[in-house]
C-alpha cells in the first residue's frame, strides 16, 4: 500500500510538468498582456514593466526560468497584488477556502445523510417526497441566486446576519474561524449542492441495502427494527456515501468563485478568474499547479480511504 | 468540470459512485430487456412526469417562434423593467424586451447546450473508454494516464483559458463544457468494458473470429447503452447548470441568443428592484434540472437488471433481491475514478 | 506630453477661472468643517464604512493608475497641491500658490519654485522637507520601479530621458548603474533649501500645478521605502502625510484608516474609515440596505428604486455628473470608418436619449460633444447637428455610397465582457439595424484583449469611456487626437488640429486658450472622428447620519476621497 501511494505521488511530477507547459502555453496564447489597457503608456514604460518582471525574454526562456525557480519553491510574484510572492497569496487564501470548505462539508454531510435516511425509511410517503423535493431544489438553484436570496432575506429583511465578510482575526478561533454569524450564509450556500447530492446517494444506497437478504434475515431473526437499522443497514449503506464524500471534499476545498465573490470571502476561489483576466502570469501558474497537486493528492486519499472501507479492494 | 459542477453546477457523473451504474450480471443484448426496462420506466410516476416536462420544454424550444407573443429581441427603451402585465406576462428587461418571449426562446439554447455538450462528451469519452478497456495493456495505460492529466487540471482555469483563446461563440461553449467533462465518461465506459470482457458472450464472439471493431461496435457498445443513457440524463442538466454559472463568472454565452443561464445572470443585477426577472429563468432551470433528475433516476432503476420486473416499489423490504453492492472491476493499480 | 510652444504663462489663472463652473456635492447641509453640527456622534461612532470592489494592485502612489487604487492614496498622502471642493487647485503641502508675482513661477514659465508649509509633518512626526519631493519625483521616474502613470512628468527636464533609459521592446537599451545614476541626477527637480523645491520644465505647461496635485506627485519617505522595499505599504510599515494613516490592511478583505495625529490641517472628526472589499455589486447594494455600509454606488438596474420621490432611499441619493464621456471610437484608417459620412451616420443613428432614460434610468446626459460639462471648454452646441435623426443617418449612409447599407463591409465592435457593455452592445446593434438597416456584431473579450486590440489599432469600433485626470481640455484633446499622439487610436490625422492644440498650449490667456481648444474640439466632432454618446452620472447612496461627505467629480472609486477630513457622523 505504501509503495502504491508513493508511486502515485511520484506520478505527480509528470502531471505537474505537463500541466505547467499547457497552462504556460495557453496563457501566453491569450491575446493581450498584463499591461494592455485602454489608456496607452509609452513603449518605454511597458518595457520598464516587462524588464521588472522578466517578460522581456522569449516565452520559452520565461518558462525555463519559471520551472527553475518553481523547483526551489519560488513561484514568482503577483503583479496584481503588491508584488507579493504567489506562494504567500495562495497559502493564506487556501487556509480560508479550506476552512470554509470543511465547514460546508460538515453541514452537507449532516444534513444530506439525515435527509437521505429519512427519505429511504419513509419511501414514497410524504417525508420522502419532501426530502426529494428539498434535495432537488438544493441542486437546481444556481449558487449565486440562492446566495443573494439568503443575503436579502437574512441580511436586509430580517437583519439577523451580516451581508459580507470573513474576519478571522476576531473569530471563534482567531486566525482560523470567523465569527459564527459570518459563517452561516456562505456555508449554507456552499453546502446546498453537496447536501442535496448526499441526500440522493444516501437514499439510494440505503434503499439498496434494505433490499438485501441479510437484512431480511436479521428481521426474521426477530431483531428490533432499530437494531437492524443501526447495526446492519446504516453501516453497509455508508460505504457508497463515504466514497462520494471524498471527491466532494476535494471539490469544496478547492474553493468556489461564486461563493467567495458573493460573500466577500478572502479565499483562493477567486484567484483563477482574477489572475487570468489580469494576465497575472505568476498567479495563474501558481494557482493551477497548487490545485493540480491538491486534486491529485485528494484523489489518492480517496482511493486509499476506499480500500480501508471496502476490504475487497487491494492495491498493488 | 465535475469538480466545479459539484459546487456551482449540477450533479456529477461521478455521482454514480454508489456503483449503481456498474452492471454486475451478464447482459446480452436482447430486445426483450429494453421492453422490460420501458415497462418499468412507465410504472415510475416521477420519471414519467420528468420525461413529460422534458418533452414539453423540448416542444417549447422547437415551437418558440410560433408561441412567443413578442419578438424576443425587439427592444423598447420606453418600457424597460416593466412589471408583469397581460401584454408582458413576465415583464420586460433592461432593454424593454419581453421577458416571457425570451424565456421561450431561452429553452432553445439551454437545451442545446445540454445536448451538444453531451454529444461532445460522448464523442470523446466513449471511444477512449472503449479502446482503453478493450485493448488493455499499453493503450489502456496511455489513455488512462491521459485522462489522469486532464483530470488533474483545475476545470475552472481550463475553461477560462480556453474561452479566452477560442473566443466566445456558442459552439466554443459546447466544446469547452465537453472538453472538461469527457474524462468521467471515459472512465465509466472503461470500467464497464473491463467488466464485460470476461463474459461468455464476448469470448464466444471472439472464438467465432469477430474483429476488435466488431466486438466493440456490436457487442460491447450495445451493452453500454443503458448506463450511457443514464449518464446523459444527468449530464444534460449539469451542462445547463454549468452554462448558468459561467454566465455569472462572465465567460458564458454571448448575448443576442438568450439562454436561461445568461438570463439569470443579466437579471441578477436587478434582483432587488425586479426579482421576477431572476425568478422565472431560475425556475425554468430548476424545473428542467428536476425533470432530468427524475427521468435519470427512473432510467437507472429501469435499466438496472437487479430491479425485478414484478417488484412493487412500495414494499421494498419484502422484495427478493440480487447480490450485494457492486465490486469495482479492476483493483490492479487503479480504481476507476468513479468507482 | 505633446509639444507645447514657448510663451509667457499665467497658468495660475486657470484654477480660479474654472472653479465657478464646477459642481460640488456636499451631503447633509452645512458646508465647511468649522460648522460641524452639534449632534455630532461620540468618537467611537465616528466610523465611516465604505466599499471598494476588491484588493487593489497597490497603494503606492507612484505605482497606482486605476481609480480603485488612487482613491486609497488620497486620504494617505497630500501632494504639494490638492483640490478643494470646487476642484480648484489649492496648496496642500505647499505654503501658497506659486505665481509670477510671488516669484513662484519664472517669467518664461519654465521654473517653478515652491515653498513648503513650515510645520508639515509625516505621520511618524518627522518634518517634511524639500528633499522628500526631490526623492519622490526621481523615484516615480525610476525605470526600474516601472510606474505606469509617470509620462505626465516628461515635461520636466531630464524626466523622459531617465524614465525611458531602458528603451523599448524593439529598441532595448542596457545602461550601466552609473549611467542610470547620471540620468537620475539630471532630472530637473532640486531642493533650493530644506523648505523650497524647484522644478525645471522644458516647455511651459498650463496644467503643471494640476499634475503636481496628481497621486503620482505625492511624496513618499525614502528611508521607509528603502528599509521595507515593496512591503513599505503594509500597515505596520506605512508612513504617509495625508489626513489619515493606514491602520490595517487585511489583504483581500479590507483597509482601515485612522486620523494622522501629525497632519497639519484641521483634525478629522472621523476616528476610523473602514474600506471593505466587496466584489459583487448586488451584494454591496444589499450591504448598504442592511446598514453594513454608509455609502454605495447604485447599479443602473436598481436606480428605479432610488428614484421614486419621497422614498427613504431617494432622500439618501446623491447624483454626481462625472467628468466623463462615453463615445464610440472608430478606426478612421480602415473601411468602412475611413469614410467620414459612415462615421457620422453611425453617430446620428443612435438614440442616446432613449438609452440614458431607458437603460441608465436617467443616470447620465446624452451628448454629441466630447469634452464633458463641468470642464472648461465644454460646449453643448458642438455636434448638435449630429443629434439622433434616423432619416438623416440613412441619407448619409446612402451618400457615402452604401444605400440601405448595401456594400458596407461587415462591422464588428469589440467590447469588454461585462453586464453594462453587453446591454450597450445589444442596444447599438438594435439601433443600427432599425435606423440604418445594417447588421453589426459585437465581440466580447476581456479588458486586456480589448486594450491590446484598441491600442494596436486592430479594431473597427469600440466604446471608450474617458475620465478626467484633471479638469482641463488638454487632458482630453491633444493626447487623444493629435497626429501620432500616445492615445490616438482612431488613426485620425489633421494638421489643422495639431496646429490648433499647439497654439493652445502656447497661449497665455486662459480664455484665448480655451477658444483654441474649442476649435480643435469642434474639428474632431465635425469630422465625426468619434461618436460621443453620453456623460456618465453616478448615483451614490449615503446614509443620513453621514455629514459633509464632500464629493467632487474627480473622486475615484470611493466618493469623497479628497475630503474625508471634513466628514463626520451625527448621532443615530
Please choose, from the candidates A83, B108, B214, the residue with its C-alpha nearest in 3D space to the C-alpha of residue C144.
A83
- Quick check: is B141 in a domain? yes
Of A56-70, B49-63, B155-169, where does mean pLDDT reach its minimum?
B155-169
Of A191-205, B5-19, B20-34, where does mean pLDDT reach its minimum?
B5-19
Q: Say whether pLDDT at B331 is over 60.
A: no
Q: Say whether pLDDT at C511 is over 90.
A: yes
Q: Which residues of B touch A283 (CB under 8 A)?
A: none
> CA angle at residue B58 from B55 to B59, to 5 degrees?
90
> CA angle at residue C462 from C460 to C468, to 5 degrees?
135
CATH number at residue B143: 1.10.3720.10
The domain covering C324-536 belongs, at the CATH homologous superfamily level, to: Dipeptide-binding Protein; Domain 3 (3.10.105.10)
Chain-chain contact of B337 with A299 (C-beta, under 8 angstroms): yes
- Quick check: is B338 in a domain? no
pTM to 2 decimal places: 0.88
B58 and B17 both lie in a single domain: no
Residue A8 vs residue A115, higher pLDDT:
A115
- Which chains are within 8 Å of A by 3+ CB pairs? B, C
B227 vs B222: CA distance, rounded Å? 10
Give the model confidence (pLDDT) of C273-294 as tens digits: 999 999 999 999 999 999 999 9
> Are C68 and C52 spatial neighbours (Cβ–Cβ below 8 Å)?
yes
B24 vs B184: CA distance, rounded Å? 19
Work out the minimum CA distance from C240 to partner chain B, whole angstroms.
37
User: How confident is the model at residue B4, as a pLDDT?
Assistant: 35
User: How confident is the model at residue C94, as a pLDDT?
Assistant: 95
Dihedral, B4, B9, B14, B17 alpha carbons, nearest 10: 120
Chain-chain contact of A82 with C172 (C-beta, under 8 angstroms): no
Give Dmax over CA atoms of chain A in angstroms: 87
Domains and CATH numbers, chain A: 88-264 (1.10.3720.10)
B17 and B45 both lie in a single domain: no
CATH class given for the domain over C78-225: alpha beta
Of A177-181, B259-263, C140-144, C290-294, where does mean pLDDT reach its minimum?
B259-263
B238 vs B240: CA distance, rounded Å? 5
- Quick check: is B325 in a domain? no
Q: Say whether pLDDT at C28 is over 60.
A: no
Q: Which residues of B touch A247 (CB under 8 A)?
A: 2-3, 6, 12, 14, 17
User: How confident is the model at residue A249, as a pLDDT?
Assistant: 80
- Quick check: is B101 in a domain? yes
The kind and range of the H/E element at C112 are strand C111-115
User: How confident is the model at residue C357, as a pLDDT?
Assistant: 92
Chain-chain contact of B289 with A258 (C-beta, under 8 angstroms): no
Of C282, C300, C446, the CB nearest to B268: C282
pLDDT category of residue C261 using cuts at 50, 70 and 90: very high
pLDDT category of residue C188 using cuts at 50, 70 and 90: very high
Q: How many CB atoms lie within 10 A of CB A219?
A: 17
Chain B interface disruption, residue of A126, A140, A147, most B CBs within 10 A: A140
User: How confident is the model at residue C286, as a pLDDT?
Assistant: 94
DSSP single-letter state for residue C408: P
- Which chains are within 8 Å of C by 3+ CB pairs? A, B
Of C167, C251, C487, the CB nearest to A44: C167
Please choose, from the candidates C267, C265, C438, C420, the residue with its C-alpha nearest in 3D space to the C-alpha of residue C342.
C438
Chain-chain contact of C358 with B95 (C-beta, under 8 angstroms): yes
- The phi and psi torsions of C245 (rounded to 5 degrees) equal -120, 160
Look at chain B and report how many structural domains it folds into: 2
Chain-chain contact of C358 with B255 (C-beta, under 8 angstroms): no
Of C163, C280, C290, the CB nearest to A262: C280
Cell of C566: 471634513
- Quick check: is B132 in a domain? yes
- Quick check: is B137 in a domain? yes
Work out the minimum CA distance from C119 to partner chain A, whole angstroms.
32
B18 and B74 both lie in a single domain: no
Chain-chain contact of A276 with B324 (C-beta, under 8 angstroms): no
Q: Say whether pLDDT at C36 is over 80.
A: no
Work out the minimum CA distance from C180 to partner chain B, whole angstroms.
39
pLDDT category of residue C546 using cuts at 50, 70 and 90: very high
- Residue count of chain B, please give it: 339
DSSP notation for B235-249: HHHHHHHHHHHHHHH
Chain-chain contact of C290 with A156 (C-beta, under 8 angstroms): yes
Residues of chain C with CATH 3.90.76.10: 78-225
User: How confident is the model at residue A224, as a pLDDT?
Assistant: 79
End-to-end CA distance of chain B: 18
B48 and B123 both lie in a single domain: yes
Chain-chain contact of C286 with B272 (C-beta, under 8 angstroms): yes
pLDDT category of residue C23 using cuts at 50, 70 and 90: very low
Of C305, C417, C443, the CB nearest to B272: C305
pLDDT category of residue A253 using cuts at 50, 70 and 90: confident
pLDDT category of residue A299 using cuts at 50, 70 and 90: confident
Of B208-212, B286-290, C229-233, where does mean pLDDT reach its minimum?
B208-212
B23 and B100 both lie in a single domain: no
Owning domain of residue B18: 1-30
> Are A145 and B248 spatial neighbours (Cβ–Cβ below 8 Å)?
no
Q: How many CB atoms lie within 10 A of CB A220?
A: 9
B136 and B16 both lie in a single domain: no
> Are B291 and B53 spatial neighbours (Cβ–Cβ below 8 Å)?
yes
Of A44, A81, A169, the CB nearest to C57: A81
User: How confident is the model at residue C46, as a pLDDT?
Assistant: 96
- Quick check: is B214 in a domain? yes
Of A210-219, C105-114, C470-479, where does mean pLDDT reach its minimum?
A210-219
DSSP-derived pairing of the beta strands C324-330 and C461-467: antiparallel
Interval C165-175 mean pLDDT: 91
Give the distance, in angstroms, between the CA of residue A115 and the centroid of all CA atoms in the same chain.
Answer: 22
User: How confident is the model at residue B273, as a pLDDT?
Assistant: 86
Chain C interface disruption, residue of A33, A37, A148, most C CBs within 10 A: A37
Q: Say whether pLDDT at B308 is over 80.
A: no
User: How confident is the model at residue A315, as a pLDDT?
Assistant: 59
Give the model confidence (pLDDT) of C38-58 as tens digits: 789 999 999 999 999 999 999
pLDDT category of residue C69 using cuts at 50, 70 and 90: very high
Using DSSP, state whether C333 is helix, strand or coil: coil
pLDDT category of residue C305 using cuts at 50, 70 and 90: confident
Mean pLDDT, chain C, integer? 90
Using DSSP, state whether C210 is helix, strand or coil: helix
Give the model confidence (pLDDT) of A120-175 as tens digits: 888 878 888 888 887 777 777 888 889 999 999 999 999 999 999 999 888 888 88
Give the model confidence (pLDDT) of A14-31 as tens digits: 999 999 999 999 999 988
**Residue in the structure block whose three cell numbers are 488493455:** B136
Report the percent of chain C where pLDDT is more than 90.
78
pLDDT category of residue A54 using cuts at 50, 70 and 90: very high
Q: Say whether pLDDT at C385 is over 60.
A: yes
Q: Say whether pLDDT at A312 is over 70.
A: no
- Which chains are within 8 Å of B by 3+ CB pairs? A, C
B254 and B146 both lie in a single domain: yes
User: How confident is the model at residue B315, as a pLDDT?
Assistant: 28
Interval A198-215 mean pLDDT: 82
Residues of chain C with CATH 3.10.105.10: 324-536
Cell of C502: 499647439
B7 and B83 both lie in a single domain: no
C363 vs C294: CA distance, rounded Å? 21
ipTM (interface predicted TM):
0.90
Residues 6 or more apart whose Cβ sits within 8 Å of residue C395: none
C255 vs C257: CA distance, rounded Å? 7
DSSP-derived pairing of the beta strands C196-200 and C111-115: antiparallel
Interval C491-517 mean pLDDT: 93
User: How confident is the model at residue B261, as a pLDDT?
Assistant: 85
- Strands, DSSP E only, in A65-175? none
Number of H helices, E strands in chain B: 12, 0
Chain-chain contact of A204 with B18 (C-beta, under 8 angstroms): yes
Amino acid at each position: 500500500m505504501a509503495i502504491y501511494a508513493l508511486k502515485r505521488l511520484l506520478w505527480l511530477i509528470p502531471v505537474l510538468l505537463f500541466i505547467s507547459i499547457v497552462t504556460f502555453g495557453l496563457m501566453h496564447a491569450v491575446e493581450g498582456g498584463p499591461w494592455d489597457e485602454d489608456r496607452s503608456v509609452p513603449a518605454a514604460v511597458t518595457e520598464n514593466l516587462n524588464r521588472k518582471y522578466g517578460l522581456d525574454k522569449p516565452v520559452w526562456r520565461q518558462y525555463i526560468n519559471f520551472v527553475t525557480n518553481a523547483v526551489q519553491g519560488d513561484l514568482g510574484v503577483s503583479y496584481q497584488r503588491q508584488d507579493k510572492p504567489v506562494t504567500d497569496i495562495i497559502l493564506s487564501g487556501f487556509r480560508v477556502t479550506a476552512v470554509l470548505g470543511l465547514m460546508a462539508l460538515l453541514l452537507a454531510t449532516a444534513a444530506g445523510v439525515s435527509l437521505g435516511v429519512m427519505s429511504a425509511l419513509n419511501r414514497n410517503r410524504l417525508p420522502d417526497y419532501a426530502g426529494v423535493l428539498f434535495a432537488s431544489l438544493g441542486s437546481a438553484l444556481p449558487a449565486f441566486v440562492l446566495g443573494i436570496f439568503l443575503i436579502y432575506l437574512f441580511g436586509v429583511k430580517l437583519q439577523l446576519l451580516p451581508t459580507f465578510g470573513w474576519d478571522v482575526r476576531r473569530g471563534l478561533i482567531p486566525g482560523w474561524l470567523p465569527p459564527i454569524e459570518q459563517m452561516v450564509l456562505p456555508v449554507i450556500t456552499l453546502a446546498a449542492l453537496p447536501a442535496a447530492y448526499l441526500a440522493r446517494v444516501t437514499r439510494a444506497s440505503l434503499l439498496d441495502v434494505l433490499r438485501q437478504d441479510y437484512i431480511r434475515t436479521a428481521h426474521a431473526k426477530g431483531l428490533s427494527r432499530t437494531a437492524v437499522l443501526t447495526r446492519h443497514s446504516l453501516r453497509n449503506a455508508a460505504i457508497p456515501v463515504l466514497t462520494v464524500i471524498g471527491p466532494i471534499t476535494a471539490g469544496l476545498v478547492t474553493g468556489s468563485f461564486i461563493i467567495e465573490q458573493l460573500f466577500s470571502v478572502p479565499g483562493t476561489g477567486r484567484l483563477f478568474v482574477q489572475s487570468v483576466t489580469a494576465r497575472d502570469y505568476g498567479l495563474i501558474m501558481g494557482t493551477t499547479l497548487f490545485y493540480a497537486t491538491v486534486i491529485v493528492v485528494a484523489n489518492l486519499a480517496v482511493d486509499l480511504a476506499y480500500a480501508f472501507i471496502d476490504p475487497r479492494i487491494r492495491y498493488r | 468540470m465535475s469538480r466545479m459542477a459539484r459546487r456551482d453546477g449540477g450533479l456529477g457523473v461521478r455521482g454514480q459512485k454508489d456503483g449503481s451504474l456498474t452492471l454486475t450480471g451478464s447482459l446480452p443484448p436482447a430486445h426483450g430487456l429494453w421492453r422490460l426496462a420501458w415497462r418499468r420506466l412507465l410504472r415510475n410516476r416521477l420519471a414519467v412526469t420528468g420525461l413529460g416536462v422534458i418533452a414539453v420544454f423540448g416542444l417549447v424550444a422547437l415551437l418558440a417562434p410560433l408561441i412567443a407573443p413578442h419578438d424576443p429581441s425587439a427592444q423598447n427603451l420606453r418600457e424597460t423593467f416593466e412589471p408583469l402585465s397581460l401584454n408582458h406576462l413576465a415583464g420586460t428587461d433592461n432593454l424593454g424586451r419581453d421577458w416571457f418571449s425570451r424565456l421561450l426562446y431561452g429553452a432553445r439554447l439551454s437545451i442545446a447546450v445540454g445536448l451538444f455538450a453531451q454529444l461532445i462528451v460522448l464523442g470523446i469519452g466513449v471511444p477512449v473508454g472503449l479502446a482503453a478497456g478493450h485493448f488493455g495493456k499499453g493503450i489502456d495505460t496511455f489513455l488512462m494516464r491521459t485522462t489522469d492529466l486532464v483530470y488533474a487540471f483545475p476545470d475552472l482555469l481550463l475553461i477560462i483559458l480556453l474561452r479566452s483563446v477560442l473566443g466566445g461563440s456558442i459552439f466554443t461553449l459546447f466544446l469547452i463544457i465537453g472538453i472538461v467533462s469527457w474524462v468521467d465518461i471515459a472512465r465509466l465506459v472503461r470500467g464497464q468494458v473491463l467488466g464485460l470482457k470476461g463474459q461468455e458472450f464476448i469470448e464466444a464472439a471472439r472464438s467465432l473470429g469477430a474483429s476488435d471493431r466488431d466486438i466493440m461496435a456490436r457487442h460491447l457498445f450495445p451493452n453500454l447503452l443503458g448506463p450511457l443513457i443514464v449518464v446523459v440524463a444527468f449530464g444534460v442538466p449539469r451542462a445547463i447548470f454549468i452554462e448558468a454559472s459561467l454566465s455569472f463568472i462572465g465567460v458564458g454565452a454571448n448575448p443576442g441568443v438568450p439562454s436561461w443561464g445568461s438570463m439569470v445572470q443579466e437579471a441578477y443585477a436587478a434582483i432587488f428592484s425586479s426579482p421576477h426577472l431572476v425568478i422565472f429563468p431560475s425556475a425554468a432551470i430548476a424545473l428542467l434540472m428536476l425533470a432530468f433528475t427524475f427521468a435519470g433516476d427512473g432510467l437507472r432503476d429501469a435499466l438496472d437488471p437487479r430491479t425485478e420486473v414484478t417488484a412493487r416499489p412500495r414494499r421494498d423490504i419484502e422484495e427478493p433481491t440480487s447480490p450485494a453492492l457492486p465490486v469495482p472491476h479492476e483493483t490492479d493499480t487503479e480504481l476507476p475514478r468513479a468507482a | 506630453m505633446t509639444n507645447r510652444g514657448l510663451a509667457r504663462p499665467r497658468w495660475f489663472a486657470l484654477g480660479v477661472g474654472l472653479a465657478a463652473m464646477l459642481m460640488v456635492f456636499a451631503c447633509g447641509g452645512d458646508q465647511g468643517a468649522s460648522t460641524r453640527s452639534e449632534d455630532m456622534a461620540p468618537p467611537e461612532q465616528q466610523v465611516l464604512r465604505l466599499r471598494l470592489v476588491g484588493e487593489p494592485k497597490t497603494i503606492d502612489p507612484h505605482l497606482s493608475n486605476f481609480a480603485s487604487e488612487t482613491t486609497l492614496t488620497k486620504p494617505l498622502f497630500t501632494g504639494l497641491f490638492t483640490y478643494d471642493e470646487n476642484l480648484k487647485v489649492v496648496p496642500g503641502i505647499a505654503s501658497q500658490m506659486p505665481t509670477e508675482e510671488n516669484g513662484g513661477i519664472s517669467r518664461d514659465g519654465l521654473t517653478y519654485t515652491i515653498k513648503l508649509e513650515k510645520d508639515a509633518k509625516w505621520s511618524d512626526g518627522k518634518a517634511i522637507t524639500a528633499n522628500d519631493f526631490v526623492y519622490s519625483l526621481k523615484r516615480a521616474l525610476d525605470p526600474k520601479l516601472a510606474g505606469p502613470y509617470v509620462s505626465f512628468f516628461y515635461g520636466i527636464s531630464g524626466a523622459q530621458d531617465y524614465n525611458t533609459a531602458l528603451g523599448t521592446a524593439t529598441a532595448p537599451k542596457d545602461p550601466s548603474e552609473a549611467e542610470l545614476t547620471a540620468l537620475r541626477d539630471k532630472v530637473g527637480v532640486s531642493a533650493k533649501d530644506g523648505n523650497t523645491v524647484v522644478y525645471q520644465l522644458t516647455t511651459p505647461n498650463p496644467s503643471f500645478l494640476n499634475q503636481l496635485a496628481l497621486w503620482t506627485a505625492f511624496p513618499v519617505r525614502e528611508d521607509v521605502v528603502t528599509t521595507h522595499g515593496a512591503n513599505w505599504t503594509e500597515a505596520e510599515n506605512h508612513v504617509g502625510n495625508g489626513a489619515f494613516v493606514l491602520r490595517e490592511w487585511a489583504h483581500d478583505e479590507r483597509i482601515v484608516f485612522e486620523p494622522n495625529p501629525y497632519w497639519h490641517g484641521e483634525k478629522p472628526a472621523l476616528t476610523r474609515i473602514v474600506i471593505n472589499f466587496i466584489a459583487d455589486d448586488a451584494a454591496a447594494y444589499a450591504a448598504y440596505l442592511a446598514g453594513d455600509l454608509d455609502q454605495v454606488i447604485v447599479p443602473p438596474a436598481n436606480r428605479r428604486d432610488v428614484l421614486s420621490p419621497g422614498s427613504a432611499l431617494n432622500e439618501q441619493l446623491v447624483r454626481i455628473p462625472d467628468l466623463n464621456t462615453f463615445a464610440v471610437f472608430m478606426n478612421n484608417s480602415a473601411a468602412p470608418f475611413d469614410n467620414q459620412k459612415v462615421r457620422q451616420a453611425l453617430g446620428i443613428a443612435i438614440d442616446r436619449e432613449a438609452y440614458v432614460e431607458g437603460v441608465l434610468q436617467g443616470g447620465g446626459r446624452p451628448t454629441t460633444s466630447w469634452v464633458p460639462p463641468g470642464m472648461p471648454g465644454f460646449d453643448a452646441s458642438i455636434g448638435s447637428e449630429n443629434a439622433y435623426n434616423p432619416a438623416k443617418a440613412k441619407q448619409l449612409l446612402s451618400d457615402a455610397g452604401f444605400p440601405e447599407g448595401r456594400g458596407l463591409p461587415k462591422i464588428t465592435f469589440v467590447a469588454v465582457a461585462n453586464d453594462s457593455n453587453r446591454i450597450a452592445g445589444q442596444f447599438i446593434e438594435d439601433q443600427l439595424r432599425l435606423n440604418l438597416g445594417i447588421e453589426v456584431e459585437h465581440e466580447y473579450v476581456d479588458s486586456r484583449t480589448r486594450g491590446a486590440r484598441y491600442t494596436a489599432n486592430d479594431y473597427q469600433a469600440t466604446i471608450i469611456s474617458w475620465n478626467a485626470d484633471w479638469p482641463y481640455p488638454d487632458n482630453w484633446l491633444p493626447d487623444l487626437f493629435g497626429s501620432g499622439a500616445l492615445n490616438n487610436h482612431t488613426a485620425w490625422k489633421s494638421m489643422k488640429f495639431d496646429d490648433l492644440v499647439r497654439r493652445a498650449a502656447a497661449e497665455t490667456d486662459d480664455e484665448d486658450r480655451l477658444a483654441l481648444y474649442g476649435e480643435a474640439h469642434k474639428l474632431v466632432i465635425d469630422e465625426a472622428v468619434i461618436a460621443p454618446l453620453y456623460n456618465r452620472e453616478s448615483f451614490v447612496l449615503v446614509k443620513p447620519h453621514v455629514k459633509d461627505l464632500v464629493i467632487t467629480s474627480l473622486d475615484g472609486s470611493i466618493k469623497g476621497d479628497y475630503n474625508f477630513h471634513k466628514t463626520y457622523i451625527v448621532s443615530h
